[in-house]
Structure 1
């Protein structure tokens, strides 16, 4: 009787609970990404810096993230998800230590850079790992969970930090000690995650030669990537603005510098981003994108009205609409890429979409911060809001065109 040979077929699908658990490292890193938001007032009082400097500190996070995206997507597709995700979680732990002891703008910049690098790996390798664990038959569920993990973590960070900044002694130390515990648990999950190293021998196309380059997608998927960026970029830029200058707006409109209020506002924004994804998950992909772009445009018009009328109610409404815009745009973009991009280029595709979104999310709020220092918060926020509403409207037009094409071809 001939000896049996080992099967080289695909592994059995992971249990459904592992798909949910695989999203936890993404959430844990994104808790760190926004945990500093309610604490900037404490650091401003302790160190002393302007609104313009505050937006530069925030933008250093974007710089680290962009640098990470230039490498992490391609690297993850070539060597595997874990070799990228595990070092990223270690860097996030290092950032926690620097945040906890920060006593200068330089320390805040270093911590934000390291956070951005970790987040870049999380949105490329981490999100692709969720799709790998889910398998080819559960791609839409994977996109939903990966996207929700990102925005839920982004919302939990400022809520946790805001509450601890008001209730706990030594808030900057306590906040990042708690976050370090969350990251250690994520590290344990990542170590045990059931993902295999990529099998390059069976890839349909050779890997690109360069390890550091602008991430891209195969030529047939470029239109889908452009559409995803057109909707996702205004959405995440809107929420980035609320995170970077939201505390200043709340201080101007409410006369309060409470970290808990700033953290709760950010949490509500990202809670809306999470809830809207479950609400629209059954729609056509292009309908989800259209909903995201429309919500972002309305959010920015509401923000302009809030600062012109000194209305805190409209400001909170703008934050909620901005969160819904990012959530729907992000879900639509990830779902589109999961459906159209082959698995061996998926992490790179995630990097490309996030790079297209985070570049304006870094540049425009910084410009708005310095403009606000020069001409006042009302004028600066209004100019920013009108510009972003216009970009979101263009994304809505593109999504509507895609929706019409998908209806005609179905």
Structure 2
């Protein structure tokens, strides 16, 4: 197959969201995933720094999880707009302002002197991430083209989890070894976002010919024929991303309690390992049937919650790390299975909105349950709060596994 040159951003497109008239070179699929990765590096870059801000600003574990959840609130609000806007105006029209917002969040983080600044920065980060998971991930699929949808889903999904893992590791290392521990990582991130900005401008996709009808601000949805696939995808993605959200928000506190260390490098490394696992399992499982991928996701999340329970009651850092790795596997596989299901079933002109709906379904429990666990931990202790969270998510994972099993023919038709 002869590689074609990227066409102009203003070139006309085919009906719906415009893919290039011929498949773009494979390297462009990788490059199209970079803006997603860059934004997701920011999404978790603050994780190792919470202990520093908590020391300087004096807030509780409950407040810490609220700051984390403001990111999810911004993300959910963004998804109410970004999916529809992306399908109507084009991917670039959504990604460009999202990258500007992400850079603004970096500046606020770097100059924060109270909890309110952290809340605003996390809110702006969530808005940018909402655009990345709707317009950005759909852009990767557009560049991949109709004949490489599975590859597009794989690259988009791994870009998200790889960025989510690199962020806390980069932050932990820089905060321990560079001057201005709560500043340097965000200056580095601004530079990364600048390269993503250039990538978006050069991306070989155009504008949609048909802009659709209806409200611009609405709860994202999919065509009636695809609702079953959406719900099945959420069933496994939601427990997985809720598990990783718990590790990100309260993992450093658990490490401190189990190991007696406040090492930001160790906290960042655990988060990085979690998302590196999420990336690796997606490549390892890419040739499996979707039903097997999704069932394995539910099983991994369930075992992760059992490991978390053992960790907090046995004061075992090894089981805590195992829980983080299994949680990463659960999110990665659930994300890959759900996105693959949507990419193959939903029309291209509705794909960004479908991605938005998928992520809303996952991020609502990912925001509510860790915040509840944080405040419960303040009231009854970290061990009891973490155990209650683990048992709740274990039950949800078992329900997801049973749902996937009963719908296997619809997920991976023969």
TM-score normalised by the chain length of structure 2: 0.95
Structure 2 partner of 1:86: 96
Structure 2 partner of 1:297: 302
Gaps in structure 2 of 5+ consecutive residues: 1-10, 15-19
Q: Is the 8 A contact 2:12 2:207 kept in 1?
A: no
| Displacement after TM superposition at 1:311 (Å) | 0.4
Structure 1 partner of 2:263: 258
Change (3 A) 1:22 1:254: same
Show CA shifts across 1:244-267 (max 9, x none).
Answer: 000000000000011101000000
| Displacement after TM superposition at 1:128 (Å) | 0.2
Distance in 1 of aligned mates of 2:213 and 2:239: 30
Matches within 5 A, 1:219-238: 219-238=224-243
| Displacement after TM superposition at 1:173 (Å) | 1.1
Aligned mate of 1:166, from 158, 161, 176: 176
Q: Is the 8 A contact 2:240 2:301 kept in 1?
A: yes
2:182 is paired with a residue whose SS is: helix
Residue 291 of structure 2 is aligned to residue 286 of structure 1: yes
| Displacement after TM superposition at 1:79 (Å) | 0.6
Residue 62 of structure 2 is aligned to residue 57 of structure 1: no
| Displacement after TM superposition at 1:402 (Å) | 2.3
Aligned mate of 2:379, from 363, 369, 374: 374
Number of residue pairs matched by the alignment: 399
Residue 56 of structure 2 is aligned to residue 46 of structure 1: yes
1:200 is paired with a residue whose SS is: coil
TM-score normalised by the chain length of structure 1: 0.96
Show CA shifts across 1:357-388 (max 9, x none).
Answer: 00000011000000000000000000000000
| Displacement after TM superposition at 1:12 (Å) | 1.4
1:302 is paired with a residue whose SS is: helix
RMSD, aligned CA: 1.3
Gaps in structure 1 of 5+ consecutive residues: 1-5, 202-206
Matches within 5 A, 1:336-347: 336-347=341-352
Distance in 2 of aligned mates of 1:137 and 1:198: 19
Q: Is the 8 A contact 2:13 2:208 kept in 1?
A: no
| Displacement after TM superposition at 1:98 (Å) | 0.3
Q: Is the 8 A contact 2:12 2:209 kept in 1?
A: no
Q: Is the 8 A contact 2:13 2:207 kept in 1?
A: no
Show CA shifts across 1:217-258 (max 9, x none).
Answer: 000100000000010000000000000000000000000011
Structure 1 partner of 2:403: 398
Aligned mate of 2:358, from 342, 353, 361: 353
Aligned mate of 1:312, from 291, 308, 317: 317
Residue 276 of structure 2 is aligned to residue 271 of structure 1: yes
